[in-house]
A and B are shown apart, each in its own frame.
Chain A
Amino acid sequence: MLMALLCQAVAFAQHSPDFAEKFMTLCSNDSTVKCITVSPKMMEQLVRLHEDSRSDNIVQAIGKLKSARIVTGSACYYQKAIELIARNKSRFIAGKDYQTEEEQGAFFTRKNKKGDTVEFIMLHADIAGNKFTIVNLTGDIDDEFLCFLFNNKTF
């Protein structure tokens, strides 16, 4: 029984934080870095929140999400976020990145043991506006969800 309890404790300990939470631990001393959290419970409420002005596409996209975290801060944090991703390169898969004179960004994903994408991270820095944003989404990040993002330039 003791061993069973120990196994359960180990299983619980294996729950790891998402990227935004890890990043916020690095910036705990800087009050200018803000993190907005939308929990799975709230996300379910958002799906049920129908208003005429809102498109079906975004409702369907939100329906595939479990949680969302949006971190904002100054543009200097972009590099720190990239370094944090690099330290966890076995966990996150790098996608495409982009860079112009005014802004830069990168995409990363994380898959579960079954091979499904369960976490999506976008790092974006607005160099001109000195603003950095992390969009950290978890849920069913499948083809359909990506199609919403690719094909709906404006929600």
Chain B
Amino acid sequence: MDYRFIEQLIERYFACETSLQEEQILKTFFTQDVEQVPNELRPYIPVFAAMQPAETLGDDFDERILAQIGESQTVKARTISLAERFRPLLRAAAVVAVVLTLGNAMNLSIQSGQPQGDDINYAAYQDTFDDPSMAYDQVEDALQLVSDGFAHAQKADSIAMDSLYSELK
């Protein structure tokens, strides 16, 4: 038997020049009984016997797709109320309110810790004298000066001094 035609088809196949019909001829040839295939062409059996037929969509393809499209999914309409719409905003506002409240509470607790509600930062005071006796003398002189000042003011206007006293009270 002359297998020249088959050999030509094989050459053209590996040169990517065969048509689908010619490839089908090769597959048919190599899937027949192995004994019918000459020895020199048998190494090609695994190559062409394994050729899969081109997948086709099938006649019922369109029907199946149309059937799937035709199945309408039911979507339930969900009503969102105004409260639900603003819920994230309300949550954010609540967090801010809590933080502000805590901050104010801390502020008040700090202020209430100060004696007499005085707002002077005594921590910044640095003593001029290390010796209490020297500091005492200075304070004593200062109080004496203030006392003398009251006396001067009283002397200048004793009536006005009474009003100062009441004002200072």
A contact set with B: CB distance below 8 Å: 1-4, 6-8, 10-11, 14-18, 21, 35-43, 45-46, 49, 54, 58, 61-62, 65-68, 70, 93, 95-100, 103, 105, 107, 109, 112-114, 116-120, 122, 124, 133, 135, 137-138, 140-141, 143, 146, 148-150, 152-155
Contact = CB atoms under 8 A, between A and B. Distances in A.
B100 A100 contact: no
Given A3-B100, A122-B145, A155-B144, 16 more contacts: A10-B107, A11-B107, A37-B127, A38-B139, A49-B136, A98-B149, A105-B149, A107-B168, A117-B168, A118-B116, A137-B142, A140-B116, A148-B143, A150-B147, A153-B147, A155-B143
Contacts, number: 174
B135 A155 contact: no
B136 A135 contact: no
Interface residues of B, number: 54
A129 to B, nearest CB: 13
B130 to A, nearest CB: 9
B167 A70 contact: no
B47 to A, nearest CB: 73
B132 interface: yes
B145 A4 contact: no
Given A3-B99, A49-B133, A107 B149 contact: yes
B142 A135 contact: yes
Interface stretch (B7-15, B24-32, B79-87, B158-166): B158-166
B149 A18 contact: no
A124 B150 CA distance: 11
Nearest to B123: A15
B117 interface: yes
Contact of B120 (A15, A97, A114, A117): A15
A103 B163 CA distance: 22
